[in-house]
Structure 1
């Protein structure tokens, strides 16, 4: 069993980073973090408290991990589950609930009470309305194969996003609620950040914070380009409210648990400060009349933030958060009048190809830029090769070049979101080029 607290202390105290795979391990292994407190590493983690009158769980992980989490939990204790708290309604936090309900039913035990913020159920309804869209974007973000059921660990199945069914909460709250299980008190607080239905918990008997996805050991997921609005400034506010409790144990839903009042305070402050920096600089430029393009290319987060082992941009990244800040405060118009009512992408691409002297010339220049390999050159290469494929959608040479350019771009990126989107484009054109070996 890994000593997770010692590992997190070593990373934080020495600014050591040894790879995302060592801080986010979906192994379903259980570690007792403190007496009566366990964390089961999965996607997401499950945090468990022994209360003396049933177990209180925070999250249940993906549907595919439910049975593995339950097995590990039962290796630690046979105490029944009395409460399940959803930190928010994402599939990787609520999908495993069915395994716990089935266990209670099979044993004739009391059904666990499910607690959540009041926006969780509306989220589930939205997911049902946009099932196909969510299936596609999550396949693009996480997996190379779109015909695999999300969460099915490679098992072919229907194009469904999330568990079937979504298990609704029994009790919801708006701003704050408190409950007691056995000899342990749990205070639940609503805050918006990654989602509008998020909660974090203060457990005073353990001086512990259950932070859900407010702390994930990657750069905050406040910019995801394919998902609904995120709230970076409110995210920072929630982190500062957690720090005000002076916790001695921090239990996140992804990444390593952290012990020590000063260490936790430093982590929470650093994450909050990084988000506040982005919001402040972006709003300053918006208030001066800048376009979105000016902000995206003009606001740069100081490197010392991303040098921290818990702020690496390997999932989301600051550039994407700037887009979300603009969307939150400024709407969808980006300040470029041509983009207010634009021509179809394909029409613009055909005009570009005609001006350049044909699709072959666009392809040639895209390949030259990609070969140069700088970030600025790669950005231009993607524009040109995309135009080539749009101008002549059946042109196999254009698609071969598009696959090569996006493949190179994928390899040069750090964040999973960028890699996922570029990899999707790479595979798409590899098929159309007849060179489907991506």
Structure 2
């Protein structure tokens, strides 16, 4: 499916004009306005080079993505109960053409693949709904009903997927839900599939790997506000789909914007090799902690020779570090667990399927697919460590490291989601931390202070901008973005700096093969031009269900995070906390909250008796509920002063990223 691009006479003339007339003419092609710009000749040339690197005649992944398709609606728009659009494949109808100049043709191809949506048969008795959310939902037919694996991110999307299954395969009860790992796009839609009441009544099992709830809750809560804001850049939720807007993110078309839900597991898998028969289907589980998620598992269905690889194999290079922010993942362990899967099941598998993208069939193909996937993570881990020991810094390694040529040309290891560059930085951070050994970086100035001092040294900002315009005309977009963003941090009102920075970021976005990199570049350009996007309709509907499932320990940990110690540096007290789940002692030392479990202090300043709802009221800073739900004996000013220092992080959910 190689797409040969024809350079028009106009484009040739433009290139000639740029060469003959110098930078001034080229600068005019990039007027400093708030409008989106077309691709420059440098971007066009960079994207053309991709055709020489990759074999666009190879259609194997298209064949895998369409194999077994049972049904697909002509259009797919999913709305919530208030009429908000939470998911759309219709928005990507423009993909039925060659890659435009404003898109990396490899990412365009991946977007075309992710636009293949609907209900698919994986093998006899196993079905997937793909393209109805960022992730896939899998339906395994048991003796009497469905085993549902990874019920998407949004309730509305899960409901639509279930409706598609029932329309084409009949209506059967859901007997079990399996969460493969602790990321929200694999459990958030669960209440679109089953109800909490069905689970509590014992009619539906909810199965997850050991440690699932701890990680599912903590990741979405402790740094949830910051992750949510950064996720809007990573997934491009503020962008419209289009030739100059959002494309696929490598593991799907993007992030749905519906309601997320949560139901606690009723069964935890605690060891590899553990087998359970669910509605007549025997499933053998393989734990893979610390790979793509802190709690994750693959599974094997021997009766169908089918191997589920969760998100450990995804048909793209994944993230050892995800741009929204998360714990760094272990590339070495990731590779080892894939190789363990091969050793356990690889010689018997007829199909490998997963929670993103499409399955792969045939044992020879599976062996190669899994080996190549393991190899890229092992390469990044090992090569980065080699360079570390040769004395190179994080940024130097990120600019040096490149996959071996044969692995680089494999379609399913391309950098559509993660990149070799930022994954190598993850390995550096895992082993070496943020410090590169240069003491100049021990106590660096803040970005704004650094920018202001730099501007003082420049002396003439206008002269810097003129030089930046000249470098833009040379196609030096990374440098232009860096230097103009420095000017923005020194003076956010410098409109020319903002617009030139946006123009440079936009060209970087047009060239990016990684969907999240494209999204981040284009979101940043959008906010430089138009200001920070504060439209709630561009985000998912929050994590209230997850919030309500926090254990007392998690609530107390989160309370410690929310307390602004600088507001109460002199506050020191001891409180006994009596809960149905057990007793605690809270020791607040100069505003720092510490706690001990299963104990009480006879000399405590105050005793609080309550339920979890009372603790949650403190976090929510709801004084009325605190008064109604918490019984106090002793010094009541302790709680009042502590609550005064609680920060409502949702007030900061639209913090600036590309400017101070």
Q: Taking structure 1 as the reference length, what is the TM-score of the superposition?
A: 0.86
Whether the 8 Å CA contact 1:385–1:405 is kept in 2: the answer is no
Q: Please list, as runs of the form range in 1=range in 2, the aligned pairs for 1:367-386 lying within 5 A after superposition.
A: 367-373=469-475, 377-386=476-485
Instruction: For residue 325 of structure 2, give the secondary structure of its aligned residue in structure 1.
Output: coil
5+ residue gaps, structure 1, are: 154-161, 434-438
Whether the 8 Å CA contact 1:144–1:423 is kept in 2: the answer is no
Runs of 4+ in 1 over 6 A off after TM superposition: none
Instruction: For residue 207 of structure 2, give the secondary structure of its aligned residue in structure 1.
Output: strand
More displaced 10-residue stretch of structure 1: 262-271 or 286-295: 286-295
Please state if 1:84 is matched with 2:177. Answer: yes
- Per-residue CA shift, 1:359-410, capped at 9, x if unaligned? 223322222222212xxx3222222111111111221222122222212222
Distance of aligned partners of 1:144 and 1:252 in 2 relative to their CA distance in 1, 3 Å threshold = closer
Instruction: For residue 416 of structure 2, give the secondary structure of its aligned residue in structure 1.
Output: coil
Instruction: For residue 310 of structure 1, give the secondary structure of its aligned residue in structure 2.
Output: helix
Whether the 8 Å CA contact 2:196–2:263 is kept in 1: the answer is no
Please state if 1:265 is matched with 2:265. Answer: no
Please state if 1:330 is matched with 2:432. Answer: yes
Looking at structure 1, the residues matched to 451 and 171 of structure 2 have their Cα atoms a distance apart, in angstroms, of 63
Could you say which residue in structure 2 is the equivalent of 1:157?
none
Please state if 1:178 is matched with 2:283. Answer: no
Instruction: For residue 278 of structure 1, give the secondary structure of its aligned residue in structure 2.
Output: helix
Could you say which residue in structure 2 is the equivalent of 1:65?
157
Please state if 1:35 is matched with 2:131. Answer: no
Looking at structure 2, the residues matched to 423 and 336 of structure 1 have their Cα atoms a distance apart, in angstroms, of 33
Instruction: For residue 101 of structure 1, give the secondary structure of its aligned residue in structure 2.
Output: coil
Deviation at 1:121, TM superposition (A): 0.9
Whether the 8 Å CA contact 1:5–1:33 is kept in 2: the answer is no
Could you say which residue in structure 1 is the equivalent of 2:109?
19
- Per-residue CA shift, 1:96-132, capped at 9, x if unaligned? 21012149859x9963211111322112322123332
5+ residue gaps, structure 2, are: 1-59, 68-104, 240-254, 533-660
Deviation at 1:234, TM superposition (A): 1.2
Match of 1:207 among 299, 302, 305: 305
Distance of aligned partners of 1:130 and 1:95 in 2 relative to their CA distance in 1, 3 Å threshold = same
Match of 2:263 among 164, 167, 192: 167
Cα RMSD over matched residues? 2.7
Could you say which residue in structure 2 is the equivalent of 1:159?
none
Please state if 1:142 is matched with 2:241. Answer: no
More displaced 10-residue stretch of structure 1: 388-397 or 327-336: 327-336
Could you say which residue in structure 2 is the equivalent of 1:409?
508
Could you say which residue in structure 2 is the equivalent of 1:197?
295
Q: Taking structure 2 as the reference length, what is the TM-score of the superposition?
A: 0.58
From the CA coordinates, give the structure whose radius of gyration is larger. Answer: 2
Could you say which residue in structure 2 is the equivalent of 1:358?
460
Could you say which residue in structure 1 is the equivalent of 2:79?
none
Distance of aligned partners of 1:310 and 1:362 in 2 relative to their CA distance in 1, 3 Å threshold = same
Distance of aligned partners of 1:111 and 1:172 in 2 relative to their CA distance in 1, 3 Å threshold = same
Whether the 8 Å CA contact 2:65–2:116 is kept in 1: the answer is no
More displaced 10-residue stretch of structure 1: 230-239 or 126-135: 126-135
Instruction: For residue 209 of structure 1, give the secondary structure of its aligned residue in structure 2.
Output: strand
Distance of aligned partners of 1:88 and 1:173 in 2 relative to their CA distance in 1, 3 Å threshold = same
How many aligned residue pairs are there? 409
